[in-house]
Amino acid sequence: DAGVIQSPRHEVTEMGQEVTLRCKPISGHDYLFWYRQTMMRGLELLIYFNNNVPIDDSGMPEDRFSAKMPNASFSTLKIQPSEPRDSAVYFCASSFRDRYEQYFGPGTRLTVT
């Protein structure tokens, strides 16, 4: 079975540009999570969805970040405008209802110059 799919795997952009990260969760999973990982702050939960509905976005750092889940098989995380401090690895994860373990995608390594 395919795992969580993320694209792009690497993104290099200039400050001020819009960045869109994409995620396809494991088929049948009801929950989708967006994380950010840096050396300084470790793994941080940004937002999570249940059945395509955002449940908790308290981890979204500021208004420049937005996330959507238009259907059960696709989600986006958008940063507009991007800043150098947004440079990190962004992971998407999914889980099945009634199960708390999460399965991660390979991540998108974002560099903002």
Is residue 43 a contact residue for other proteins (CB under 8 A)? Answer: yes
Note if the bond before 81 is cis, omega within 30 degrees: yes
Q: How far is the CB of 112 from other proteins (least distance, A)?
A: 18
- For residues 46 to 65, the per-residue mask of contacts with other proteins, x marking binding by CB under 8 A and - elsewhere, is --x-x----xx---------
Residues for the chain: how many in total? 113
Report phi then psi at 85, rounded to 5: -70, -5
* Residue 25 CB burial class (10 angstroms; 0-12, 13-18, ≥19): buried
Our finding on whether 31 is near other proteins (CB under 8 A) is yes
Contacts to other proteins from residues 88-107, by CB under 8 A: 91, 95, 100-107
Query: Whole-number minimum distance, CB 43 to other proteins, in Å?
Result: 4
Radius of gyration of the chain (CA): 13
| Contacting positions for other proteins (CB under 8 A) | 31, 42-43, 45, 48, 50, 55-56, 91, 95, 100-107, 109
